C-alpha cells in the first residue's frame, strides 16, 4: 500500500528499529537525515525528563535540515514504548510524546488500547511488535495502526517463526501497515520484505556498528566480525527469548552451548537472570543478519549502500521476470 504522509517521503522503505541503550538522538537524527525512519526506546533517555530534551533536539535538528535541504527532507522519527507492567514511566513518557506529537509510536511487550488511541488522537500512527499471528490479531483488535512481525533471527527479543509463514498468515486478514523484522541487512532483503507484502523493512542490528550509535567499540567490532552462526537464542538473560552474540557470552565466562533456562516470571530487562552478566551491557544483543556489516560506518554510508543494493536488486528482478 502507498505509505501515509509523512512516511511517503522516505529514501528507502526502512525503519531503523529502536535499540536499548544503543539508539540515542545522534543515531536517530542521522537515520532521519539519511532518509529512513529513525527511532529510540523512550527508556534510553534517563532520567525521564531527558525524553523531552531528546525530542526537542531531534525536532529542531530535523527542522533545520529540512530548511537547508528542501529537495532532500528528513524522514520522520519514531519513539518506542515498552508497554510492560514493569515500566512505571509509561504515562509520563506518553505525555511527553503527546507534547511533541511524535509521528510514530512503536509498542512492544504489551498491546494497550489507551496507548493506541492516545497516539491516534494527535494524528500519529502506532506499530505494535508481535511474534505470531495470534498476538497480531489482538493488537489490531485493540486499535494498533499496524504491525511489526518479528521473525526468526531478529535481534533482541525475537520470535522463532519464518518471515514467510508470518507474512502469509497476517496478510490473509490484514491489509494495513506492516514492517517486517528479522535479519534484514541488504537492499535485496528490503525488496524481499516488500515482495512478502511488507510496507517497511525494520532493521536493527546493523546500526549497532554505526559511528553515531551509543555502543562500546568492542560491541561495534563484534558486529563487524559476527555472522549468523555466531548468534545464540536464549531466555537466560532477561526471561524472554532473544538473540545474542556468542562471543559476548563467552566473554562473560559462560558456555553458550550449555546455558540454563531462565524463569520467565522473573522477567527483568536489565539483569542477567541468574548470572552476574548484565543483558545488553555485557551480553550483546544481535540478530543474524550482521554478515553484511563489514565496518563501523556513518549511517549515511550504510543507507547509501542499502539504496544501491535495492536499486540493483529491482533491476535484476525486472530482468529475471521480463
Ligand atoms: C541490542 C538490541 C536492543 C534492542 N532493544 C529494543 C528495544 O528497546 N525495544 C524494542 O522494541 N526492540 C528492541 N530490539 C529489537 C529491534 O528493535 C528489532 O526488532 C530487531 O533488531 C530487528 O532485527 P535485526 O536486528 O535482525 O534487524 C533490540 C534489538 C537489539 C539487537
Q: Which three cell numbers stand for residue 222?
A: 563484534
Q: Are 153 and 258 contained in the same domain? A: no
Count of CA atoms in the C-beta half-sphere (13 A) of 239: 11
CA of 61 to the centre of ligand 1 (A): 25
- Taking 50 as the pLDDT cut, the residues of the chain under it are 269-274
Q: Are 171 and 277 contained in the same domain? A: no
Which CATH number do you get for residue 143? 3.20.20.70
The per-type count for the chain, helices as H runs and strands as E runs, is 10, 10
pLDDT at 280: 78
223 in a structural domain = no
**Domain count for the chain:** 2
pLDDT at 278: 76
CA of 255 to the centre of ligand 1 (A): 24
Q: Which three cell numbers stand for residue 173?
A: 486478514
Q: State if residue 159 touches ligand 1 by the CB under 6 angstroms criterion.
A: no
Q: Are 38 and 158 contained in the same domain? A: yes
Q: Are 168 and 73 contained in the same domain? A: yes
User: Relative to the CA of 184, which ligand 1 atom is closest?
Assistant: 27
pLDDT at 272: 45
Q: Are 243 and 113 contained in the same domain? A: no
Q: State if residue 129 touches ligand 1 by the CB under 6 angstroms criterion.
A: yes
219 in a structural domain = no
CA of 91 to the centre of ligand 1 (A): 22
Helix (H) or strand (E) holding 149: strand 146-149
pLDDT at 262: 74
Q: State if residue 156 touches ligand 1 by the CB under 6 angstroms criterion.
A: yes
**Cα–Cα distances in Å, from 161 out to 164, 166, 167?**
8, 7, 10
CA distance 115 to 121: 10
2 in a structural domain = no
179 in a structural domain = yes
Q: Are 280 and 304 contained in the same domain? A: no
pLDDT at 268: 53
Task: Provide the residue range defining the domain that includes 280.
Answer: 235-285
User: Relative to the CA of 183, which ligand 1 atom is closest?
Assistant: 26
Q: Are 68 and 163 contained in the same domain? A: yes
163 in a structural domain = yes
241 in a structural domain = yes
For ligand 1, atom 29, the nearest C-alpha belongs to 156
Q: Are 146 and 269 contained in the same domain? A: no
Q: Are 272 and 298 contained in the same domain? A: no
Amino acid at each position: 500500500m502507498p505509505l501515509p504522509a509523512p512516511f511517503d517521503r522516505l529514501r528507502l522503505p526502512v525503519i531503523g528499529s529502536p535499540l536499548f541503550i544503543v539508539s540515542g538522538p545522534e543515531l536517530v537524527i542521522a537515520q532521519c537525515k539519511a532518509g529512513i525512519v529513525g527511532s529510540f526506546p523512550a527508556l534510553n533517555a534517563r532520567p525521564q525528563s531527558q525524553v523531552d530534551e531528546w525530542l526537542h533536539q531531534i525536532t529542531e535538528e530535523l527542522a533545520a535540515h529540512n530548511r537547508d535541504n528542501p529537495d532532500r527532507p528528513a524522514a520522520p522519527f519514531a519513539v518506542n514504548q515498552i508497554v510492560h507492567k514493569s515500566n512505571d514511566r509509561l504515562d509520563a513518557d506518553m505525555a511527553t510524546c503527546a507534547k511533541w506529537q511524535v509521528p510514530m509510536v512503536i509498542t512492544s511487550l504489551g498491546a494497550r488500547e489507551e496507548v493506541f488511541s492516545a497516539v491516534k488522537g494527535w494524528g500519529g500512527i502506532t506499530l505494535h511488535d508481535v511474534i505470531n499471528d495470534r498476538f497480531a490479531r489482538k493488537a489490531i483488535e485493540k486499535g494498533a495502526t499496524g504491525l511489526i512481525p518479528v521473525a526468526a533471527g531478529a535481534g533482541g527479543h525475537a520470535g522463532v517463526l519464518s518471515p514467510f509463514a508470518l507474512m502469509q498468515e497476517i496478510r490473509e486478514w490484514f491489509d494495513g501497515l506492516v514492517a517486517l523484522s528479522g535479519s534484514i541487512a541488504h537492499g535485496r532483503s528490503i525488496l524481499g520484505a516488500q515482495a512478502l507484502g511488507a510496507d517497511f523493512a525494520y532493521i536493527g542490528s546493523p546500526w549497532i556498528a554505526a559511528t553515531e550509535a551509543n555502543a562500546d567499540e568492542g560491541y561495534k567490532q563484534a558486529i563487524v566480525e559476527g555472522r549468523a552462526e555466531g548468534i545464540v537464542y536464549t531466555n537466560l538473560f532477561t526471561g524472554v527469548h532473544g538473540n545474542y552474540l556468542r562471543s559476548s557470552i563467552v566473554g562473560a565466562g559462560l558456555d553458550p552451548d550449555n546455558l540454563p533456562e531462565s524463569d520467565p516470571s522473573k522477567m527483568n530487562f536489565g539483569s542477567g537472570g541468574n548470572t552476574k552478566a548484565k543483558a545488553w551491557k555485557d551480553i550483546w544483543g544481535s540478530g543474524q543478519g550482521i554478515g553484511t556489516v563489514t565496518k563501523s560506518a556513518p549511517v549515511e554510508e550504510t543507507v547509501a549502500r542499502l539504496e544501491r543494493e535495492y536499486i540493483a536488486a529491482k533491476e535484476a528482478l525486472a530482468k529475471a521476470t521480463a
